[in-house]
Amino acid sequence: MKKVLLAVFVLVMVGGLTACSDQERIYVFNWGFFIYEPVLAMFEEEYGIRVIYDTYPTNEVMYARVVDGGGVFDVLVPSDYMIERMINEGLLAPINWDNIPNRRYIADRFWYWDHDPTNAYSVPYIWGTFGIVYNTNMIDQVVDSWSILWDEQFANNIFMYDSARCSLGVAQHLLGFSLNTRNIDEMHQVRDKLLSQSHLVRAFLGDEVIHSMIGEEAAIAAVFNGCARWIMDSNPNHNFVNPYEGVQLFIDSMVIPANAQNQAGAEKFINFMNRPDIAVLNALYIMYTTTNEGALALLPEDWQNCPIYWPPEDVIRRGEVFRDLGDFRAEYEHIWTQVLANR
């Protein structure tokens, strides 16, 4: 289905690619499948700027590459809490908004979030929730709570997400704690809750959970809504829910590192990515909710009205966004190490 929709929506065909000057290039570092890669060739052809594209599996891997000098990049796509951390550490460059006229297509609700309260550094790209996807052929009971991930009948049939903040967040929701708590007693309860689950978990997976759930290797998994949409598009035996205890809301945005070598080229790229005809191609491919109102208007009606793709207001009210934890980050990392060591 996704390939059919993309074939319909590709209005610009990439012909012979114009030669790109070796002196004009940008380095883009993004999540594993968070772009419809043919748009890179479209950008190259239109601007004569070569795109050197690389991917990362987690915010933490991206951060380490930037800080440790493993690469110098012009565009990154971090999540909310990581943007906040990078701003605080002086790792991002302010954006020249005169070079991003397509910002007008981004919905008002995605500006001025707590991680970038003045919107000096980040251009919203995609957003969504973190919930539960499950196989309806394997589970015939009502699924509406995080507690099902502790249900003994699903032993060895549960995938948890291979991310400290996400998996710790599941236990935080279940225990009624903030996703950003800095209370050590609460975090010890979170640790104990996850340790009590460890014998039930088949594996901690990242984006590979998509193919594992499509292949029906487990009954249930904690995933992002875009992953769930991808799974359901390929295997209709699945459903997705946002548990009633609350969910993680996230927003990933495009930013420019402070040490970028081509900020002007980076801003051309970001502006191009926010052109509605380009944003809709990305939205159809990655299956996460676009922040671009111009692109939303171009999506099929069933996408615009889909509660998985566009979370309802009651889900948003129950949601919480990750914040940078500062020095308390070490406590989360220590607890996560203990959880993984118990596998």
CB 170 within 8 A of CB 191: no
User: Which portions of the chain are predicted below pLDDT 50?
Assistant: 3-4, 7-9, 11-21
User: With contact defined as beta carbons under 8 Å apart, do 161 and 204 qualify?
Assistant: yes
d(CA 305, CA 118): 31
Q: Domain residue spans in the chain?
A: 2-127+250-304, 128-249+313-341
Q: 2-127+250-304 and 128-249+313-341 share one CATH topology?
A: yes
Q: Does domain 128-249+313-341 have CATH number 3.40.190.10?
A: yes
Q: Domain 2-127+250-304 belongs to what architecture?
A: 3-Layer(aba) Sandwich (3.40)
Query: How deeply is 112 buried, as exposed, middle or buried, from its count of CB atoms within 10 A (0-12, 13-18, 19+)?
Result: exposed
Residue-wise pLDDT for 128-163, tens only, equals 999 999 999 999 999 999 999 999 999 999 999 999
pLDDT of residue 17: 40
pLDDT in tens, 226-280: 999 999 999 999 999 999 999 999 999 999 999 999 999 999 999 999 999 999 9
14: left (phi over 0), alpha (psi -120 to 50) or beta: beta
